[in-house]
Structure 1
Amino acid sequence: MKIRVSQRCSDFDSYRAERVKSLFNVDSGANFQLEAELPIEGDDWQIGVIVGPSGSGKTSIGAQIGQLYKPTWPASMPIVDAIAPGGEFADVTAALSAVGLGSVPAWLRPFNVLSNGEQFRATLARLVCEAPALAVVDEFSSVVDRQIARIGAGAFAKVWRRTGGQAVLLSCHYDILDWLQPDWVFDTATGQFQRGSLRRRPPLELEIHQTDWRYWPLFEPHHYLKLPRMIAATCYVGTINGEPVAHLAVSTRPGLVEARACRLVVMPEWQGAGVGMRFLNAICDAWRRGENRYNTPLPTLFHTSHPGLAASLRRDRRWTQVSARLFGEHKMRCRGALRKSAAAKGVAESGSGYGGHLRSVQGFRYLVDDTPCAS
């Protein structure tokens, strides 16, 4: 594909314009021309990147390849409704989780009130759901923190390759290339086209520390449920380069028959990098081997309502699904138990009872090859 960009504007002769020309020995700023050869015809690629400094012609080149992806967002509709309104609910939530926007409260907000990082990932989720045959994305990752940009780029690349479409990403940042692992790159700074270059994604070294609830206030705002802390739980925090990125609490069921993991949270800027599942599996495997304060090998039970996490657990051969409930306990039965407990303690009744919700809770058990699957 031969790209020719030729742009012209008025050659101004104001005092300041003429002074600039004189000071910097510039004849005119009215003309911009660029030629590029991009051999990208065919369907043997899925992700291409045009990278280079601002003003080097990236947008002009992208506009000649295809229409720039600029979706409009309704101001009075949460993003979970605005993305693929005629599509399946599960597909939308899966796309949001896949690109790293796993924070459920953010799904319930309109696009215009989201942070820059959340808007970036919401747009990627919408692109994944719409899955056009060809998409050109301008200013890819340019307005977000570089940590979010790198992790978000890697998450997008992984899920976009499942769509079968082609995406051309325009960016002024080179740090995302190793995370995107694109099929081709054109650098507008050097005019070089590189195809099929193998790039190794930078490794993430996750360290796991056993602790108590002292770190929970950092993670609690990002958990989709507001519940009391688990009784007699052992907490774990995962860090990367000393930065807390993941949290999990593990307690036991009566009789030490098995462990129960809960309060799994991954910080928003690390969502989509696969940190959560590796963190959860490592802790559950340690409990399976008896590496816990009870020195007893225990299988681990884990419940979640998050559709993206539930899908990941179903794909992992180390987990088996053992339950799926579409609603909570009978609220009046719970209220009766609270009333009886209050009477036994001689205190005033508090609370109206838990349950009665339509929250789908799915249960999974961490298994190994020599453990029979639950029926």
Structure 2
Amino acid sequence: MKIDVHHRCDDFSTYRAARVKSLFNVDSGANFRLEADLDIEGAPWQIGVIVGPSGSGKTSMGRSIWGAEALWAPAWPADAPVIDAITPQGSFDDVTAALSSVGLGSVPTWLRPFPVLSNGEQFRANLARLIAEAPHQVVLDEFSSVVDRQIAQIGAGAFAKAWRRTKGRAVLLSCHYDVLDWLQPDWVFDTATGKFSRGWLRRRPRIDVDLWQTGWEHWPAFEPHHYLKLPRMIAATNYVATVAGQLVAHVAVSTRAGLKEARACRLVVMPEWQGAGVGLRFLDAVCERWRLGENRYGLPMPALFHTSHPGLASALRRSSRWTQVSARLVGDDKVRSAASVAKSASRHGFKNPTAGYGGHFRAVQGFRYLGEPVCG
């Protein structure tokens, strides 16, 4: 595909314009021309990148590939939460899967309109909507330009993995070279050098995660990102994951009666690390320790984990290390729970108890950690 970009504007001759021409030996600023030969039709591909400095013709090239109508510019309603704005007629599970796949797994964020989200959240919401709608061909301008570089890189890797599950072709326009290793594009055109290259030879950067056993001292940093507000678990052992000293993930593990099983709860992955695949590997590593008896009791215990998060539940079902053991659509009968609490309180001499648990519509799915599959 040959692309010829030619822009022309008035050639001004004001005093300042003339002085600039004289000082810098420039004849005119009226013309811009870029010629490129993109060999993108000879082999199948899904992700292409046009990269280069600002003003080098990336957007004009993007328009020339499939026309201006292919440029991704979704309109977001200001009076509807993100969860309703993405494919309103589509499947709820598909929408939550798209949000989780690009690292926007923070449930409270799903309930906010797009305009009130942070730049990083808007970046990921746009990617989630693109994945959910999955157009046959699309051009995404200013890819990762408005977010900090860590969010850009993690988001790029998450998007690439999710987009390759679709059948569409996406051309990403970016002035940042640091996302290329994370995207692993099928082809790249550099407007700074005019060079076209097919395939990406460098591997995606490795993320080295350190796992620490701690108390509750780090929980205040994670708590705002957990979708439930609950008291701290009794007699829990806490674990955090860090990358280069930066807090990344948290989980707490306690035991069930009889010290036969452990229960992992309070799993939180920091928003800037969601989509990198750190959370499930971290949970696996902690539960593997307990399975092997590497805990303060010195007892091998299988670990249970419960979640209402659709994306996490799907990931656990896909994993060969986990098996699903329960699925409840709603909570316990609150009236029956209150009666049971009152009976127990009366038996122990307490008066007028008011507690009763349940009555919610939060679907809770339970899983048991099995460990690494053993080949026969």
Same topology, TM > 0.5: yes
8 Å CA contact 2:321–2:373 kept in 1: the answer is: no
Are residues 1:314 and 2:317 paired?
Answer: yes
- Identify if the C-alpha distance between structure 1 residues 185 and 345 changes in structure 2 by more than 3 Å, giving closer, same or farther: farther
Quote how far apart the aligned CAs of 1:16 are: 2.7
Deviation of the 1:348 alpha carbon: 6.2
Question: After the TM superposition, which of the residue ranges 333-342 and 315-324 deviates more from structure 2?
Answer: 333-342
**1:32-181 matched pairs, under 5 angstroms:** 32-41=32-41, 44-66=44-66, 67-181=70-184
Distance 1:42 1:331, change over 3 A: farther
Kindly state the Cα deviation for residue 197 of structure 1 after the two structures are TM-superposed: 2.8
| TM-aligned CA distance change 1:221 to 1:369, over 3 Å | closer
Q: Which moved more, 1:40-49 or 1:15-24?
A: 15-24
Gaps of 5+ in 2: none
The aligned residue for residue 233 of structure 2 is 230
- Aligned residue for 2:188, secondary structure, equals strand
SS at 2:258's partner residue? coil
Matched residue, 2:187: 184
SS in 2 for 1:36: strand
* Stretch of structure 1 that moved more, 335-344 or 304-313: 335-344
Root mean square deviation, CA, Å: 1.6
Residues 67-119 of structure 1: per-residue CA shift (max 9 Å, x gap): 21111101101111100111000000000000000000000111100000100
DSSP-derived class of the 1:287 partner: helix
> What do residues 4-50 of structure 1 show as CA deviations (whole Å, max 9, x unaligned)?
00001122233332332232222221110000000101561110000
- Secondary structure of the structure 1 residue equivalent to 2:35: strand
Q: Which residue of 1 aligns with 2:243?
A: 240
Displacement, 1:341? Answer: 5.8
> What's the TM-score, normalizing by structure 2?
0.95
Counterpart AA for 1:53: P
Q: Which amino acid aligns with 1:203?
A: R
Partner of 1:213: helix, strand, or coil?
Answer: coil
1-structure distance, mates of 2:19, 2:329: 72
Q: Give the AA of the match of 1:127.
A: L
One of 203, 207, 217 as aligned partner of 1:200: 203
TM-superposed CA distance for 1:336, in Å, is 3.0
| CA distance in 1 between partners of 2:245 and 2:18 (Å) | 54
Q: Match of 2:305? A: 302
Distance in 2 (CA, whole Å) between partners of 1:37 and 1:348 is 80
Cα deviation for residue 347 of structure 1 reads: 6.6
Per-residue deviation, 1:196: 1.8
SS in 2 for 1:105: helix
Unaligned 5+ runs, structure 1: none
| Structure 1 residues 43 and 109: CA distance shift in structure 2, 3 A | farther
Counterpart of 2:335 in structure 1 is 332
Q: 194-203 or 8-17, which moves further after superposition?
A: 8-17
Does residue 19 in structure 1 map to residue 19 in structure 2?
Answer: yes
The answer as to whether partners of 2:338 and 2:354 remain within 8 angstroms in 1 is no
The DSSP-based 3-state class of the residue aligned with 2:61 is helix
- Paired residues in the alignment total 370
Kindly provide the CA deviation profile for residues 246-289 of structure 1, in whole angstroms up to 9, marking residues without a partner as x. Answer: 00000000001100000000000000000001000001011000
Offset of residue 164 of structure 1: 1.5
TM-superposed deviation, 1:327: 0.1
Question: Which amino acid letter does the alignment assign opposite residue 31 of structure 1?
Answer: N
- Tell me the SS of whatever aligns to 2:217: helix
Q: Distance in 1 between matches of 2:337 and 2:223?
A: 25
